[in-house]
Structure 1
Amino acid sequence: MTIVIENSFSEQRPFEVQAPVEQIVPFVFNSPHSGRHYPGDFIASSRLDAHTIRVSEDYFVDELFGSAPFYGAPLLVAHFPRAFLDVNREPYELDPTMFEGSLPHYINTNSVRVAGGLGTIPRLVAENLEIYHTPMPIEDALDRIESLYRPYHDCLRNLIVSTHAAFGACVLVDCHSMPAHAQSGSRNRPDFVIGDRFGTSASGAVSQSAIALLKDLGYTVARNKPYAGGFITEHYGRPRRGLHALQIEINRGLYVDEQTFQKNAGFDRLQADLACFIGRLTAEFCQQPDSVALAAE
């Protein structure tokens, strides 16, 4: 997989909605971390080379879920990279040590994610690798948020609102990938992790349905450990209002070489299985709207 270096996002749309011919299911799929279009000045400002800076990407996740429109659901895809801007954070989770100039009073400098170097403008990529040579002007960070983060969330919110208005419910599936092994050792992770913020972002029926379908396909599945869901699932999931948000993490060892970032022999099978998963999940949800979609737990 080749990195794409852009002069700016005027040449490449920063994100896109892959829309079905007609939306026929109350689902929205979202791939916020699979972008691989890197601004040239961003690469120049980084102490990391063009290969290493990609270690936090959700490689090919947009392709793995690319069948969603075929089943009647929109898929929102970010083209900007997570290392440049992370939309799975609050809009202003910023580390003050990264910037020159005075930070506005509304900046959240004390979150756990900021402390870990993984704020809205990340300080680190995976494996604790520092991204930048020198501090950046705070105006540059705020510009990224206003020009990319806010339009992205406006788009996602509009998809959710219109889906809920049309169907009376909406399930947001936030699509991600995870390293095959924990950083602390060689212990294998499960094939999938379904995150629902410990039952607060989606009804238990929705989560259990997703887990059961993946297990039926032969995969190992965990719930909420080690990933319970990020800002997107927390912010948009309101199950008592029929707004369900699930985060799905895929073990990268199933489909990609984590050293070269190239697809491995398992990619095609996984892509086909996820198409089956999407088809069965959306059909099951639609067949039981009262007990699943609109359940108030």
Structure 2
Amino acid sequence: MQDSGKQAGDSVFVHGGTVPGNPGIPAYVLKLCDPSPIPVVIAVPHAGRAYPRALLDRMRHPDFAAPRLEDRYVDLLAEAVALETGAALLVAHAPRAMLDLNRSCDDVDWEMLGGVPADASTLPGTFSRRARSGLGLVPRRLPGLGELWKRRLDHAELQDRIGAIHQPYHSALASALELIRDRWGAALLIDLHSMPPLAARSAGEAAPEFVIGDRFGSSCDGGIIGSAFAVLAQSARRASHNRPYAGGYVLERHAKRHEGVHCFQLEIDRTCYLDQRQFELGVGFDATVSLLIGLVRRLAVDVAELGRTADRGRWRAAAE
């Protein structure tokens, strides 16, 4: 992490990485309190809006494609929740159109690149499912729009983006989780996203407004997930588990249940907090913030208890 040196009371702001083509704009901003008041980190990898002019000039339909790639304004939800709860907050400023932080560095569609090394066909990720779908490390296509870019991306430029955005962001996230886990004995990452409205799964059944993804139980303690569903149910909000979003690279990389680091992905229907066009904040924003505040506070209690249980286990093992 690269500390900017800026502080506000007991809050520390860490700026790191860079957005290539936008001098002075960090790839991410991390805000946390030291010591942390609760064992929760909220991360927002897909809401960045720091678009370099050159990036927009390369896009075929930037006014349409760029907002569709974003988790539009979900960072504003996260900021309001973190302010009220004391959760650590990591927000990417780099836009998803430039680099998808929820993808592995080798999740690349090599056909969209120029200047590719001769042995690229042997590298991992060449035939990855996400890259084939058009939504790999650098998005290539969108449904209903087709190809996003006017020309190929140079391989060297991709490597620059990885070094300036991907590596610093994930390093900062790992450090924040480790810091909080060391204080509390356990830490929880809520990887926050938004989604277009889902279709109803069957006739007479309303579509979910929230999707909780824990990679089918591998990334998070089941009790935490149960509490999350209970909070949503108490507010009469419809939720789905792992379908259609089970979590991506962020969970794969950072979840370490056996080391006390628990992670889940939370998808929110954009109509819950945006207007009918899903473009600006809507009348549901405040209610969604209140719901998420209650969720974070409830889960913080659960995670703290997990940490105390883990500490007691370590003490018993040390005494034997």
Same structural fold, with TM-score higher than 0.5 when normalized by the shorter chain: yes
Which residue of structure 1 lines up, in the alignment, with residue 268 of structure 2? 250
Q: CA deviation at 1:251?
A: 0.8
Distance 2:176 2:193 in 1: 19
Distance 2:247 2:312 in 1: 21
Residues 164-199 of structure 1 deviation map (CA, whole Å, 9 limit, x = unaligned) = 222221111100011113499999631111100000
Which residue of structure 1 lines up, in the alignment, with residue 282 of structure 2? 264
Which residue of structure 1 lines up, in the alignment, with residue 159 of structure 2? 142
Residues 41-76 of structure 1 deviation map (CA, whole Å, 9 limit, x = unaligned) = 000111113243211211121111222244232110
Contact 1:197 1:229 in 2 (8 A): yes
Q: 1:275 to 1:203 in 2, by over 3 A?
A: same
Q: 1:126 to 1:241 in 2, by over 3 A?
A: farther
Which residue of structure 1 lines up, in the alignment, with residue 318 of structure 2? none
* AA aligned opposite 1:36: R
Distance 2:83 2:103 in 1: 26
Secondary structure of the equivalent of 1:272? Answer: helix
Secondary structure of the equivalent of 1:113? Answer: helix
Aligned residues: 290
Q: CA deviation at 1:151?
A: 0.7
Q: 1:266 to 1:50 in 2, by over 3 A?
A: same
Secondary structure of the equivalent of 1:30? Answer: strand
Distance 1:294 1:115 in 2: 47
Distance 2:184 2:29 in 1: 23
Which residue of structure 1 lines up, in the alignment, with residue 137 of structure 2? 120
Structure 1 range deviating more: 19-28 or 114-123: 19-28
Using the aligned pairs only, state the percent identity: 32
* AA aligned opposite 2:89: L
Q: 1:270 to 1:62 in 2, by over 3 A?
A: same
Is there any run of 5+ residues in structure 1 with no aligned partner, and where? 1-5
Contact 2:200 2:208 in 1 (8 A): no
TM-score normalised over the length of structure 1: 0.89
Which residue of structure 2 lines up, in the alignment, with residue 224 of structure 1? 242
Residue in structure 2 matching 1:58, options 63, 71, 91: 71
* AA aligned opposite 1:133: K
Residues 16-57 of structure 1 deviation map (CA, whole Å, 9 limit, x = unaligned) = 012236412221110000111111100011111324321121
Structure 1 range deviating more: 280-289 or 52-61: 280-289
Q: 1:34 to 1:161 in 2, by over 3 A?
A: same
Residues 68-89 of structure 1 deviation map (CA, whole Å, 9 limit, x = unaligned) = 2442321100011112110101
- Corresponding position: 1:71 with 2:85: yes
Which residue of structure 1 lines up, in the alignment, with residue 105 of structure 2? 91
Contact 1:55 1:126 in 2 (8 A): no
Residues 92-123 of structure 1 deviation map (CA, whole Å, 9 limit, x = unaligned) = 21111101112455452111111111111111
* AA aligned opposite 2:77: L
Secondary structure of the equivalent of 2:263? Answer: strand
Distance 1:288 1:57 in 2: 34
Distance 1:258 1:275 in 2: 24
- Corresponding position: 1:234 with 2:285: no
Q: 1:294 to 1:285 in 2, by over 3 A?
A: farther
Residue in structure 1 matching 2:218, options 172, 183, 200: 200
Which of structures 1 and 2 has the bigger CA Rg?
2
Which residue of structure 2 lines up, in the alignment, with residue 163 of structure 1? 180
Contact 2:115 2:155 in 1 (8 A): yes
TM-score normalised over the length of structure 2: 0.83
Secondary structure of the equivalent of 1:47? Answer: coil
Which residue of structure 2 lines up, in the alignment, with residue 132 of structure 1? 149
